Amino acid sequence: MLMLGGREPWWKSSAAACVALAALTLSARTACCWLTDGPKGEDPDSYLEMANQVLRHHTLAVDHRPTDGSLPTASRAPLYPLMLALSGLVKGRATLMGVMAVNSLLLVATVVFTWLAGRRLWPHHPWAALVAGAVAGVDPIAVHYSQHIAPETLALASAAFIFWRMVELDARTTIRNAILVGVSVGLATLGRPTFLLMVPVLALVALFLGQKQRPAGWWPSIAAFKVSSVLALSAVLVILPWPLRNLIVLGEPIATTSHGGSTLALGNCPEMLEVVNEHGVNVVHVSRKALDRFVASSPVVKAYLLANNDPVPPPPGTERAADQWLAAQGQQFIRDHPKEFLWLAWARLKLTWSVVPPMKLEDADQVPQSPPMELPLTIWYAGIYTLALAGWWMMRGLSRTRGLWWTGTMLVLVISVFAAVYFGGPRMRAPVMPWLCLLSSNAMVVVFVQARLLVRRGRLVTAPQPVHSAPTRA
C-alpha cells in the first residue's frame, strides 16, 4: 500500500487526493482534445465576443458592425463572459487558449467540490469521495463541452459548489453555511438563469434542516426561519447587480436574460416540429436548423434583423421588445397546438436524459450516423444511472443528507421542466452530473458496508467454538 510519510494511504491525504483528481481531469480533457482534433473555436453564442467587448468598452455588449460600435446586451448570463474577460487581462483580449484555460480550471473545481462533498458525506470511507470526484472528472459530457466556448463547465462547477455547501448545511445548520449556500446559488444563477428557480427551493429546504433548529412537530423554529431568510437574502444580493445594470443600461431590470423568448419560440414553432418529425430527436443542434427555417419563413423576424443592421442603432429596449414578441409567438403555438407541444416536450426530455447523449451533428441536412463511442457511452451512462438511482433510493429519508437529497431531486425537476418547455439536450443535464456521481458513490458505500458486515458475520459463524470440558466431580 502506498503511504505518505509512512503514516496513511495516499487517498486519505487531502493534498494528494486533490493533485490526483486534477491530474486525472486534465488528462481526460487532453485525451479528448487529441481524439477530436483539438478545441473548437466557434462562438455561436457570442461569449468570446462579449468578453472582448468587456475588455474594450467595460460592458457586456455585442459588436454592431454597421456603425463600428457596440450594443449593450443582456442576451447571455454575465458570469461566463466576465470570467473569459479576466483570462484576457494580460494580453488585452480574450483568446481561445484563455477559454480553454478557464474551462480546465472550472472542470478541476467541479472535481474538487464533488470530492469535498463526498468527504463530508463519508468521513470513514475516503475512497468513496475519491471515486465520486474521479467520475465527475472523466464524465464524457463535461469533458466534451470543455472543448467549446460554452458555459457548461461553469454550470458544472456551480452545481458542485451548491451540493458541497448543502452537505455542509446538512451537517451544521448555521448562518455562515446558509450565507455560503446563498452565494453559491446566486453565482450559479449568474452563470445559468435556470438556477434562479433554485433560490426559493433551497430556502424552503433550509427550513427543515438541522435537528437543533426544529422543535417537536413539523413546524420550523424561529432559528430555521432565520437560516432560510439569510440564504435567500444572500442569493438575492449576489444576483442584484445584474438587474440593476440592465435597468441602467437597457432601461429594464432583466433578472435573467433577454434570450428566453427566442428560446421558447424556437423550441415551439412549426419549423421545430418539422425538423423533429423529419430527423427524430437524436440531434443536438436541432434548434439551430429550426432557427434558420424560422428566420427564413418569418417576415417579422426578418424585419427585426434588418432593423438591427440599420446604420442607426436601435433604441434601448429593442432587444427586450423583440424577445417578448418571440415569446408571444411561442406561447401562441403552445395554445394553438397542445398535442404538438406535448410531442415536442417529450422529444426534448428524451434528448436531455438519454442514456446515450448525442454529442454533435455531422451534417445540417442529414441525420448523423451512430458514433463509434456509442457502446462505451451506453455502458458508462447506464452504469451511472443505475448506481445513482440505487443511491437516491438509499439516501431518501436520512436526516444527515436531507438537504442534499432534496436539492438534487428538485434540480432534476427544474431542468426537466425547462427542457420540456424551452430547450433540451445533453448540455442541459450537465449540472446534475456531480449529484449523480455522489449518489453512485453512496450506493457503492452501502454495498461495501453491507458486504463487510456479511463477511464478518460469516467469519463469526464459521469460527471454531472453544470447547469447555465438563467439571469433574471430586
Domain ranges, residue 440: 11-355+374-455
pLDDT at residue 369 in the model: 40
Tell me the C-alpha distance between 1 and 387, whole Å.
28
Tell me the C-alpha distance between 94 and 82, whole Å.
10
What phi and psi, each to the nearest 5 degrees, are found at residue 75? -75, -15
In terms of C-beta density within 10 A (0-12 exposed, 13-18 middle, 19 or more buried), how is residue 446 classed?
middle
Selection from 70-84, 232-246, 333-347 with the highest mean pLDDT: 232-246
**pLDDT tens per residue, range 414-463:** 999 999 998 877 888 899 999 999 999 999 998 888 888 888 777 655 55
Residue 389 has pLDDT above 60, yes or no: yes
Q: What is the mean pLDDT of the chain?
A: 80
Residue 388 has pLDDT above 90, yes or no: yes
Looking at per-residue pLDDT, the higher value among 289 and 245 belongs to 245
pLDDT at residue 404 in the model: 92
pLDDT at residue 37 in the model: 66
Tell me the C-alpha distance between 384 and 368, whole Å.
25
**pLDDT tens per residue, range 272-328:** 787 777 766 554 444 455 555 555 555 545 544 544 443 333 444 467 777 887 888
Cell 447587480 belongs to 241
Instruction: Specify if 261 maps to a domain.
Output: yes
Residue 8 has pLDDT above 80, yes or no: no
Largest CA distance in the chain: 121
**pLDDT tens per residue, range 18-50:** 888 888 888 887 887 777 766 777 887 889 989
Tell me the C-alpha distance between 422 and 266, whole Å.
8
User: Structurally, how many domains does the chain consist of?
Assistant: 1
pLDDT at residue 5 in the model: 43
Instruction: Specify if 1 maps to a domain.
Output: no
Spatial contact of 395 and 405, defined as CB atoms under 8 Å apart: yes
Instruction: Specify if 95 maps to a domain.
Output: yes
Residue 155 has pLDDT above 60, yes or no: yes
Instruction: Specify if 366 maps to a domain.
Output: no
**pLDDT tens per residue, range 161-186:** 999 999 999 888 899 999 999 999 99
**pLDDT tens per residue, range 54-109:** 998 888 887 654 444 567 888 889 999 999 999 988 888 888 899 999 999 999 99
Tell me the C-alpha distance between 12 and 1, whole Å.
12
Instruction: Specify if 396 maps to a domain.
Output: yes
The predicted model gives 469-474 an average pLDDT of: 51
The predicted model gives 395-410 an average pLDDT of: 88
Spatial contact of 105 and 153, defined as CB atoms under 8 Å apart: no
**pLDDT tens per residue, range 368-380:** 344 566 788 888 9
Residue 190 has pLDDT above 90, yes or no: yes
Percentage of residues of the chain with pLDDT beyond 70: 77
Instruction: Specify if 154 maps to a domain.
Output: yes
pLDDT at residue 250 in the model: 84
Instruction: Specify if 361 maps to a domain.
Output: no
Looking at per-residue pLDDT, the higher value among 133 and 2 belongs to 133
Of the candidates 136, 59, 60, 146, the residue with the CA atom closest to the CA atom of residue 96: 146
At 145, the pLDDT band (50, 70, 90 cuts) reads confident
Instruction: Specify if 94 maps to a domain.
Output: yes
Residue 137 has pLDDT above 60, yes or no: yes
pLDDT at residue 183 in the model: 96
Of the candidates 105, 103, 99, 79, the residue with the CA atom closest to the CA atom of residue 87: 99
Task: Centre a 10 Å sphere on the Cβ of residue 44 and count the other Cβ atoms it contains.
Answer: 10
The DSSP code sequence of 122-185 is -TT-HHHHHHHHHHHHS-HHHHHHTTSSSTHHHHHHHHHHHHHHHHHHHH---HHHHHHHHHHH
Q: What dihedral do alpha carbons 400, 405, 408, 409 form, nearest 10°?
A: -160
Tell me the C-alpha distance between 234 and 176, whole Å.
11
Question: What residues form DSSP beta bridges with 159?
Answer: none
Percentage of residues of the chain with pLDDT beyond 90: 38
Residue 210 has pLDDT above 70, yes or no: no
